[in-house]
Amino acid sequence: MKASSAVAAFDSATGMLRALSRFHTGRDVPAIGQVPAALELPMSGLLGAVNRLPVKAREWVYAASGWAEAIPLRRVGDVRADDLATWVTRHYPRRRYPVIFVGSANGALVHLAAALDAAWLPQTLLLPVRRRGVSPDDPCGDLAAVEGAGRALLAANPDFVLHHMHDPNQDRLMIAGMTYFRAKWCRLPEAYRRFIRHHLAPGGRIVAVDCTLTWPTTRVDDRYVFQFGALGDATPEEYRRGGPRVTDLLARYGATARRWDPPAADGESPEAEWGMQPALLDDLSSFAERHRLDLDLLRFDTPQRLSPAVADLYRSWYAGRNLPADRLLVESFLLLDPWQALRTGSVPYWAVFGTETFRAGLEAYLDSTDPYDEIRVLLFNHGTESIGLASADDWRRTAARARKIGVLTGMDATAYPRDFASLVRAHRELRKIRTRYPMPLPLDTADAAAVLTNRDEVIWRPAR
């Protein structure tokens, strides 16, 4: 099976890989990198028409678009880890990089890598698997339906650990017809080894990106865990025991139950989408030592923790270039564009998702820094009124903290969180920003490491 057919195009790691690799070829990210810029206008019109459909029809279109990318259940055992790793490395131009990051997906990291002229190789990829006849609110049914496929994937790929994730809160539209298999490498794949050996600049550094976030899981096999729920505003306790917010969600979506009944958790594992598998870090350390390469560790406890640090780094970098540092670009999930951020002199702040927790994190950052003249917010529309989702009006109030311009960019607030045309319009609106700057020379790695090391919540240090 072709790697490009096995990996979800709508996932965080894939979207971030597209954005960063396009940056390295001098390109921005129209329509989250899935269509050429020339097709943005007709695509915007098509998605605008979808926006005018009734809510249920819009949700069906969104779910169907994801289902079309999923692997047939019978083909899961045909996926090969080596092919996936090669597919990742082929995104990048064949040249030398002063830094190569390896590990957790993170939107702020994409901007850090862009500033450093660095590449990033993800540890985790999402393999969506088609299956029918299982309600989003039946986690045990999902595990039973695809456990055999999960075992087949692992039998064919001894370097994979499988995190089978089921989130009926944020992903309920997608998981109505598919399963999320998040595959994590526990050993550095050969394609990554080749890429590092051939494309790390002399004197360059490997940096392991270690998000230490964990989640309760159920052990299925030695290399197979089932994760119910995921990072957002709902807590692990709400996923497993229920509560008023769960009851309200299920009632709004017409479910017969008022709480979920998942398999009993028997341990903690790295969070499926964001957490770093420690075995890969160990193997990466051995590889670096064997080849006498410098290995650093960039560690943080939750994805958004890196966002204020990278925003401050960009702000100080702009000031050092005698550029204004009063334009903030707030991004979420895979709706991000490192090329446009640098061309418009925007300070990037990645908010992970559109929930109240991540909005509060942005508010805390704004409380701690000098005011911005301009704040533009890109909100990823995931189609579901999930637990803790902050409203468009809430996000608009946060944007209004700007002294001059504070807007939700490219979004129809009345259609949120089902404004799927915003995936195209956001980029078109960024391109209209008139004030632009020359693309800078890369930021010095040692300077960036020093800035990040001086923060209590983020660690950048030698790994050994």
pLDDT tens digits, 60-108? 777 777 778 899 999 999 999 999 999 999 999 999 999 999 999 999 9
Q: Is the pLDDT of residue 39 over 70?
A: no
Residue percentage of the chain with pLDDT more than 90: 83
pLDDT-based confidence at 451, cuts 50/70/90?
Answer: confident
Q: Is the pLDDT of residue 40 over 90?
A: no
**Short-list 4, 21, 150, CA closest to 77:** 150
Rounded to whole angstroms, the Cα distance separating 348 from 337 reads: 9
Q: Is the pLDDT of residue 58 over 80?
A: no
> Per-residue pLDDT averaged across 323-341, rounded?
96
Are 169 and 248 a contacting pair, CB within 8 Å?
A: no
Q: What is the mean pLDDT of the chain?
A: 94
The pLDDT of residue 1: 79
Q: What is the pLDDT of residues 44-57, one digit of tens each?
A: 666 667 777 787 87
pLDDT-based confidence at 464, cuts 50/70/90?
Answer: low
Residue percentage of the chain with pLDDT more than 70: 97
Give me 193's structure tokens.
């080894």
The pLDDT of residue 44: 67
Specify which residues 377 forms β-bridges with.
330, 408
- Crossing angle for the helix pair 107-116 and 306-320, nearest 10 degrees? 30
Q: Is the pLDDT of residue 312 over 90?
A: yes
Q: What pTM was computed for the model? A: 0.96
Give me 407's structure tokens.
């807007």
Q: What is the pLDDT of residues 398-418, one digit of tens each?
A: 999 999 999 999 999 999 999
The pLDDT of residue 455: 78
Q: Which residue has the higher pLDDT, 102 or 423?
A: 102
